[in-house]
Structure 1
Amino acid sequence: MDLPDGKADTIMISLKNFFTTHQLDTNRLIGFGSVIVGRKTGVATQLEAINPEMLNVNCIAHRLALASAQASSNILYLKKFKDIMRQLFYFYQNSAVRMQGLKEIENILDDPVVKLKDICNTRWLSHLNSVEAVKCCHPSLIASLEREASERTDATAA
């Protein structure tokens, strides 16, 4: 089922069409699992308005990711780590010239050409993916940052 956007109203229209097409009684809905609930107008809230007996269950992996992010927000070391990873990501993401320079160094050093990943607290694998990407091309990243710092006197790279 293709949706033009991820808005709750769009999803609800699609769900209502699905229920009608398949002759499903919404009073017999017993549960709904979702990542983002939306307390006022979200899909779960709108489904509960149709059937107040329905049970809404949040995605446990998503909740765990949010709880971990909240717990780590007070740990200075982890906060600094996330800041550095984000800076590194945006340093290259926001400049085609820097990105090209990194790719050239990766080719010279025979490192894999890797797309750096951003860290996102609601995506439980984003931290791992971000660290793995940096690990794969670490020598190239260091060389690229050193080049940016010396040739372009870039303070962020330094």
Structure 2
Amino acid sequence: MMTIFYWIIIVLLLTYEPIYGYFDYQRFKARVRRFPNERVKYYSKVMLGLWIPAIVILGLTAFGPVTLKDIGLSGIAINTAALGKWTTFISLGLAVIYLLSLCYYIIGSKVSEKMQNNIAEIQKKQLEASTFADIMPVSKEDKKVWTFVS
């Protein structure tokens, strides 16, 4: 009985969502040019479409036969056998350095006015060149809701 339920969910995810999502995005692109507030409505719809399945999946793991390990969530295990100890730990060290540099730029973008201006210029150029410019947040309200979509 449960396998039929899982197959129904899989078929819906593989058919309904992509087809509906494509046509809904086309309607959004046509409307956003006339109504700038359309972005927040669209973002809210996208959030529901992403969060509801995630909550259902987590609910299945909490109350059903599926475990977190079944859906790919498990603890971190470092396997040094594949690359060797030194290569693995050097790679991890480089990843930590990269994460620290990202933190530096995130903090700098909040504090430094020069960095904020540089970022704004780069974002403006990228937005003008993007084929997805319609969906990108523009106003502060758009950006707040976009954070939850992301």
Task: Give the TM-score of the pair, scaled to structure 1.
Answer: 0.28
Structure index of larger Rg: 1
Q: Which has the higher contact order (CA 8 A, sep 6+)?
A: 2
Identify the structure with the greater strand proportion: 1
Task: Give the TM-score of the pair, scaled to structure 2.
Answer: 0.29
